[in-house]
Amino acid sequence: MQAMIRPSQLLHPPRTPAAIRDAATVLLLRDSPEGLQVLMTRRSDHASFAPGAYVFPGGGIDALDAQSHAVAARRPTQSDLHLTQAIAAIRESFEELGILLARHADGRMADDQDIARLSRHAPFAAQCAAQGLTLAADTVYVLAHWTGARELSKRFAVPFLVARMPEGQTPVADEQEQFEPVWVSPQQALERHAAGQFFMIFPTIRTLERLARFANADAVLAAVAHEQPLWVSCPRGGLLAGKEVHYMEDEHPFGELALVCPNGEALHPLDWQSASPVPLLRNVQRLTAPNPGFMTGPGTNSYLVGEPSTGYIAIDPGPADHEHLDKLWRAAGGDIRAIVCTHSHPDHSPGAAPLQALCTQAGRATPPILGLPSAPTARAASAFSPDEVLQHGQRLTLTGQSPAGEVHHTLQVVHTPGHAANHLCFLLEEDGLLFSGDHILNGSTTVIDPPDGNMADYLDSLDRLDALCGQYEVDFILPAHGYVLHSARAAIAQLKAHRLAREAKVLAAMQALPEGTVQDWAAHAYADVPPRLWPVAQRSLLAHVERIQSMEPGND
């Protein structure tokens, strides 16, 4: 589902990316005394795409590949598309490296004599048919699917296929497009690349990183037998320490790059810093407080919503850090119309009063502090009393004039108890952005700490946010800690599934150790989490126990 962000608010206006061309590549696998190995080859230094890079054999899919199904063996579950891709990969392996995945009528795989009778420069499938060979497309499976990054001038949609290397064949490069065929383990290739001796492009690197998890070729082929790619990606680029880096959809910075640079340009700096605000849209800035730590990650994200003609709403001023608040005030040009707090925890709300005082001292109208007061269940350090109490569904609106006419920025208040009883999220309606506070984080799950935290309320609030994201076509979530998340509803569904899976482990631990302590249950339910995190995990475990016990018969 597409985000609703107004084009006028984008830092980099959308443009039409280059057309995508279909291609296919194949990872030819073999087992060796050193473990799993894959065949790689070096591209020509004069190639128009990835010159000099070590790659897997492959190339463009041509019309004859789709017309050659009759010459190929196929699995009953192999689609026409996957068959065409397999044929293209088999053809390219032959043309580039002289490897032939084909069989005789009696089932024998092609050998060097068969290969010698074929020309790498004549129509491939027709030659195989004339020699009585059937293409072994039924042995070729889809491992992954990559689409070239959006900013590239030449883009390919490429299934990364896998097949076992035919026994008795030796790769011989064509010395035109490909050079230096080499058998290498995934880990060896990655180490050589890191040492600057084996240049590879991003999709190759990520594919090898995942391939390195498999012990042998059988394990790889078993993993792909269901006919679906293990991952699908169109990566995005950004800047880290001034250098271009790329990320896949499941990696933390991806959503932020999708928001800031929808065209895919690698322009957005991803380094965490507290020196200056980071523009995310024309009407949204993020300033991260200098309070990084175990519970706060890179620090608390303070957000400014608005523009010079409308003034600004500050979301989560963070701790009472004078320098941070001064930078936040200056980023708003001193024109802060309201200060809202998602909840009362000490890394979110203490900065509200000194930020308000800063605005007043500068001669501006005093911006009200808005939110929900802390509940009696809150810890003493989380005491909070706003100037005005917000109501679920209430709207906070900024209005101004732009060259195109009147402009509005509307924040809808969403009560989301769970992490804290007084937790709020805010929806920027015009752009379909959700400011999630601590309810949804990027890279970790929030702690639910009873009695102010409540797991049943938390899960109900996730359902409320999911419905809201569906109604407003929200694609991006801006959390109080970490980068922007994308695919909002999928992120919420994944988070809820994770919580329920953890709860199942808690229940199993309680049943296995009915006389056990909280520490005993945590050791079982959080066995996949480093022990140093168990003391914090015990708080959420208690919240799960409360919910489990509330669902028992007689506890309605």
Domain membership flag for residue 391: yes
Shared-domain flag, residues 122 and 217 = yes
**How many Å apart are CA 95 and CA 428, to the nearest integer?**
55
| H-run or E-run covering 42 | strand 35-43
> Which portions of the chain are predicted below pLDDT 70?
1-3, 554-556
E-strand spans in 116-228? Answer: 134-135, 141-147, 155-164, 178-184
> What distances in angstroms separate CA 6 from CA 10, 12, 453, 521, one per listed residue?
7, 12, 36, 49
Shared-domain flag, residues 479 and 528 = no
Total domains present in the chain:
3
Shared-domain flag, residues 413 and 304 = yes
Amino acid letter, residue 86: A
**How many Å apart are CA 379 and CA 50, to the nearest integer?**
57
In this prediction, residue 556 carries a pLDDT of 56
Domain membership flag for residue 251: no
Domain membership flag for residue 241: no
In this prediction, residue 1 carries a pLDDT of 38
Alpha helices per DSSP H over 473-487: none
Residues with Cβ within 8 Å of residue 62, at least 6 apart in sequence = 88
Domain membership flag for residue 401: yes
Shared-domain flag, residues 479 and 510 = no
In this prediction, residue 154 carries a pLDDT of 86
Residues with Cβ within 8 Å of residue 276, at least 6 apart in sequence = 287, 327, 331
In this prediction, residue 3 carries a pLDDT of 45
Domain membership flag for residue 248: no
In this prediction, residue 177 carries a pLDDT of 77
Domain membership flag for residue 247: no
Q: What is the residue-wise DSSP string for 249-299?
A: TTSTTHHHHHHH-TT--S--B----SSS-EEEETTEEEEE-S--BTTTBT-
Residue 60: give the domain boundaries: 20-230
Shared-domain flag, residues 203 and 315 = no
> What distances in angstroms separate CA 438 from CA 389, 455, 478, one per listed residue?
19, 14, 10
Shared-domain flag, residues 431 and 533 = no
Domain membership flag for residue 10: no
Shared-domain flag, residues 427 and 507 = no
Shared-domain flag, residues 379 and 472 = yes
Shared-domain flag, residues 204 and 337 = no
In this prediction, residue 465 carries a pLDDT of 98
Shared-domain flag, residues 360 and 323 = yes
Shared-domain flag, residues 482 and 514 = no
**Which of 172, 202, 230 is the endpoint of a domain?**
230
**Which of 194, 209, 230 is the endpoint of a domain?**
230
pTM of the shown model = 0.92
Domain membership flag for residue 256: no
Helices 455-472 and 534-550: angle between axes, nearest 10 degrees:
90
**Contact in structure between 231 and 144 (CB atoms under 8 Å):** yes
Shared-domain flag, residues 93 and 131 = yes
| H-run or E-run covering 537 | helix 534-550
Q: What is the CATH number of the domain that holds 172?
A: 3.90.79.10
